[in-house]
Structure 1
Amino acid sequence: MPPNPFAEALTQYRELAGFTQTQLANRARVSTSSVNRWEKGLSIPKRDNVEKLDRECEASGRLLAAWRAQNSRTGWPEWARDLASIETAARHVTLVTSAGVPGMLQAPEYATEVFRAGSPMASAEDLASLVTLRCERLSALPELRVTAVFPATAVGGLSPSLQSAQAKHLLAWAETGRVTVCLAPLGTSMIVPVAPLMNYRLRSGERIIASDHADGTVLLTADATERVDAVVTAALTTALPVASSLEYLESLT
């Protein structure tokens, strides 16, 4: 059975319209994988995409109504389903990754390699734009404090030039007092989900938890807090103390 009202409605009206997932995706100008995830209830689209899906399926607003019903179940207000809005409203975020450096803390050199690998056909201009957006994000959020937990190999496993650039970048942020870096030591494994976790604490006291996937950012439902707390605790237990983490980064510069 489809896991939520929107997933059920999308599947129903797509089939009534006679479209495959790929056909609907093409008409609505979204990816087939997105339609697949939405129908499985693994993520929820933004309103503009829902309006396009509703229009293409000739659902007369019923898809939009189902989307509103599902959104009310998540516990998050509508504005809080946009990551940029969440970041602006947040005062602290805990970032947990099992492999690379969290995007918000990537040095330009590191981010360039990440985007080049993920978008091999992108032009140099497009790459530069993506890198600028990623690397300037934390500077644009002066009230946000960050705790980042990730493996030491995310930096130590890079080429010498990238090692040095990324280590210096992290140390510079640590010196501001806004960023706390906790590295899982070499030779250990972080038993956490592969997809990065982002645990935001808003100035209102609310918490919003998100996770990065290849198809975009997914917001977890309000009842995920306890599970995510366990993941964060496990990651921090694995990591080195802050002072040792910074000492390791200094050795790479």
Structure 2
Amino acid sequence: MAGFTQLQLSARSGTAHSSVNRWENGGSLPKRDNAERLDAALGANGELFTAWRRSTVGTGLPEWARDLDAIERGARQLSIAAPSLVPGYLQCEAYARFVFSAGQPLAVPEELDRLTKLRCERLNELPNLSVTAVFPLSALTGLPSAVVKQQARHLVEWVDTGRVVLHVVPTGSILIVPTSPVMLFRLRSGELVITSDYADGSVTLNSDTHERVSSLFTAALAASLPFDLSLAALKDLYA
């Protein structure tokens, strides 16, 4: 597909022609260092290496990337579709505290303070991560006026950093899919990791679900307003 002969690929990757022939014909799998060289030589942006890892260990994820914190720190781009709330990464303190108070009515104030701080500082702790988020405008409009204004202004401030792109689903439209928040992380290696939030925590999805879940994000994006109209809608909330 890259247009190279086996001799050209062996020269570009620093591997033996006989090895390239054997790998291409399914005689054996390359070792890790050779898989990395082949990926770089072919300009595969991590896709060939992911396929190699899946063939050798049964999953496209390295061990360090099976934990959400490590996934976040290893990612360069995040696409989020949230069906009912502003994504946690983008919540201001007033909004986050309102959400935690509703979800954990028995929590003491100190615990609410701790949870709010963790949530609101997370994106600042990930300076290399850019975010594209889709969520309904109704995620703001049903809250107290003061919270709505703070959250809307907070979102616009994130947009102004150049790290965040927002698309809101307008009032009157229904975001049918996804039914729970989904997060598509693109790692620096080029690998895709998808997680979804449920009542009992975040779950990392198997790679064989990626195509289907990615289509849910695409459907959510199609139901939303373009970026400039989304930004205008948010500014109207605190004008």
TM-score greater than 0.5 by the shorter chain: yes
> Are residues 1:160 and 2:160 paired?
no
Aligned counterpart in structure 1 of residue 194 of structure 2, from 209, 216, 230? 209
The residue type paired with residue 203 of structure 1 is R
1: distance between equivalents of 2:94 and 2:215?
33
2: distance between equivalents of 1:205 and 1:165?
35
Q: Aligned residues, how many?
A: 182
Aligned counterpart in structure 1 of residue 118 of structure 2, from 133, 154, 179? 133
1:232 Cα deviation (Å)? 1.2
1:119 Cα deviation (Å)? 1.5
Secondary structure class of the residue paired with 1:217:
strand
1:157 Cα deviation (Å)? 2.2
1:162 Cα deviation (Å)? 1.1
2: distance between equivalents of 1:74 and 1:220?
11
Aligned twin of 1:109: 94
2: distance between equivalents of 1:210 and 1:132?
22
Aligned twin of 2:167: 182
Aligned twin of 1:34: none
Deviation per CA, 1:213-236, whole angstroms, max 9, x where unpaired? 110111100111211221111111
Larger of the two Rg values belongs to structure: 2
- TM-score, length basis structure 1: 0.70
Preserved CA contact (<8 Å) 2:134 2:168: yes
Superposed CA RMSD in Å reads 1.0
Gaps in structure 1 of 5+ consecutive residues: 1-71
1: distance between equivalents of 2:101 and 2:145?
19
Deviation per CA, 1:123-143, whole angstroms, max 9, x where unpaired? 111110110000000001000
Preserved CA contact (<8 Å) 2:178 2:220: no
Secondary structure class of the residue paired with 2:131:
strand
Secondary structure class of the residue paired with 1:139:
helix
Aligned counterpart in structure 2 of residue 173 of structure 1, from 150, 158, 168? 158
Aligned counterpart in structure 2 of residue 81 of structure 1, from 66, 70, 79? 66
Aligned twin of 2:29: none
Aligned twin of 1:151: 136
1:121 Cα deviation (Å)? 1.5
1:242 Cα deviation (Å)? 0.5
Preserved CA contact (<8 Å) 1:151 1:190: yes
Shift >6 Å, 4+ stretches: none
Secondary structure class of the residue paired with 2:162:
coil
1:81 Cα deviation (Å)? 1.3
Counterparts in 2 of 1:1-253, with a 5 A limit? 72-253=57-238
Secondary structure class of the residue paired with 1:104:
helix
2: distance between equivalents of 1:157 and 1:118?
16
The residue type paired with residue 201 of structure 1 is R
Deviation per CA, 1:162-221, whole angstroms, max 9, x where unpaired? 110110110000000100010011100112132100000000000100000110111100
Identity %: 50
